[in-house]
Structures are given as C-alpha cells and as structure tokens.
Structure 1
Amino acid sequence: MPIINKLIEIETKPGINIHNITQQIQEFIDSASIKNGQALVFSRHTTTALAINENEVRLLEDVRVFLQKLAPESDRYLHNDLHLRDVPEDEPINAHSHLIAMMLNTSETIPVVDGKLALGTWQSVLFFELDGPRKRTVFIQISGE
C-alpha cells in the first residue's frame, strides 16, 4: 500500500484565526496516484488545531468568540510566569492558546474515495491558529491504492 507525505505551510494572522485547508489537501490527493484510502491531516504545533466543520464566515466568528470565552487571554495562568521557566527570549504569553488547542483535535483522518475527500456537503477541513501570527506547517499523509 503506497504512502505519500507532504507538508503544507500556512502564514497566520494575530490571535485566533481559522483557515480552510480543504483545497490544499484535495490538490495533494489530485497529484498522488492514490484513488481510494485515507488522508491523515496532522497539526504539528501545540497552539494550533484541526476540525472538520462548516466554513461559513459567521459561524467561524462564533467559534472564534466561543474559544476566547473558554480560555480568555487575560486570565491568570501559571504557564505565563516566564520568569520561572527556562524559555527563549521571544517566548510568548500563550497558556490560553495551549488550553484551547487541547479542547480541539490535533489530527483528522478523512476517507478518500475515487480520488476525492469523502467529506459531507457542508464539511471543510479547518486549521485553527490560536497563537499567531506565525508560519505553521501541517503534515498530510495519504495512504491507500
């Protein structure tokens, strides 16, 4: 069974932002010889996440506001006591981002059927930046026949 890997890069904006990466994944599948199998999509950062949901502007804003309420950046977090940890000089104050990431997914596995992602009508693969702006990478692995 062939396995093909790819990294995609995403330039993110400040704060919580959501990127639809469905097309990038499908383009990778289109370039591969695999027609039936699965696509594993994996977020390679501790302050990012993935989800499959509807890519509708007003819903995405609702999601962003909801996540900010779950772990407000202004709350007190022990992880943000940078003077008590050995950290790089440019270490951000980002405990809220780690907490939000742990409530979401690190990876998604999507069936590939006849060379296409087997997503439902309104489903998209969404990448969540929780601590931007940054240059991020997402690992995609396609396996099958």
Structure 2
Amino acid sequence: MPIINKVIEIETEQGINIYNITPHINDFIASTSIKNGQVLVFSRHTTTALAINENEERLLEDIKVFLRKLAPESDRYLHNDLHLRVVPEDEPMNAHSHLMAMMLSTSEVIPIVDGKLALGTWQSVLFLELDGARKRTVFFQIYGESA
C-alpha cells in the first residue's frame, strides 16, 4: 500500500485564529490514486493545534473565547521569564499559547472512503493558530489502497 506525504504552508495572523484546512486535504486526496485508507494531518508547531469541528463563524468565535479563558495571556507564567533563558531577540511571551495547545491535539487521523474524507455532515478539519503571526506548516500523510 502506498504512503504519500505532503506539507502545506499557512500564513497566520496574530493571536488565536482558526483556519479550515479541509479543502487542502481534499485537494491532496484528489491528486492521488488512493481510494480507501487514512490521512494523517499533523501540526508541526508547539503553539498550534488541530481539531475536527463545525466551521461556523459564531462557533469559531466561541472557541477563541473558551481558549482565552483556559489560559489567559495576562496570567503569570514561568516560561515568560525570558531573561532567565536563552532565547532569540524576537521571542514572544507565549506560555499561554503553549498551554492552550496542550489542551488540544497536534494530529488527526481521518478515514478515506471511495476517494473522499469520511467526515460527518458538519465536520471540518480546523487548524488553530494560538500565537502567530507566522508561517506555519502542516504535514499530511495518506496511507491506503489505490483504485
């Protein structure tokens, strides 16, 4: 069974932002001959995450509010004592972003059936930027049987 890899780049904005990457995954699947199998979606950063949920504007805002309550940027964090560790000059105080990411997931595995993602009606694959603004990468890996 073939294994096919791809990396996409996402230019993110500052703060918590949510991007629907389902179309990228669909395009990747369509570019292969895989009909049945799985796609691994993996975020390669410590202040980003992935989730499968509804891509609805008001819900996305609710998610941002919820995450800010989990790890408020204004709280005191040891990781933000930048003077106590060796860091680049432009290192942000982003402990809150790391903590939010720990409460979420860095990967999702989604079945592929008949050449399509087997997502539910309202499900989308969401990439969450928890820090930003940066150029981010997301790794896709398809494993399965060809037509």
Please give the range of the TM-score, normalised by the shorter of the 2 chains. Answer: over 0.9
AA aligned to 2:52 is: I
Shift, 1:88, TM fit:
1.0
TM-score (norm 2): 0.98
Q: How does 1:1-145 map to 2 (within 5 A)?
A: 1-145=1-145
Shift, 1:90, TM fit:
1.1
Shift, 1:32, TM fit:
0.6
* RMSD, matched Cα: 0.4
Percent identity between matched residues is 83
Shift, 1:89, TM fit:
1.1
Structure 1: segments with no counterpart, 5+ residues = none
Equivalents in 2 of 1:132, 1:91: separation in Å?
12
Equivalents in 2 of 1:29, 1:22: separation in Å?
11
Query: Which stretches of structure 1, 4 residues or more, deviate above 2 A after TM superposition?
Result: none
TM-score (norm 1): 0.99
Paired residues, number: 145
Shift, 1:100, TM fit:
0.1
AA aligned to 2:111 is: P
Deviation per residue, 1:63-110 (Å, 9 max, x gap): 001100110001000000000011111111100000000000000000
Equivalents in 2 of 1:66, 1:32: separation in Å?
38
Per the alignment, in what secondary structure is the counterpart of residue 128 of structure 2? strand
Shift, 1:143, TM fit:
0.5
Structure 2: segments with no counterpart, 5+ residues = none
AA aligned to 1:19 is: Y
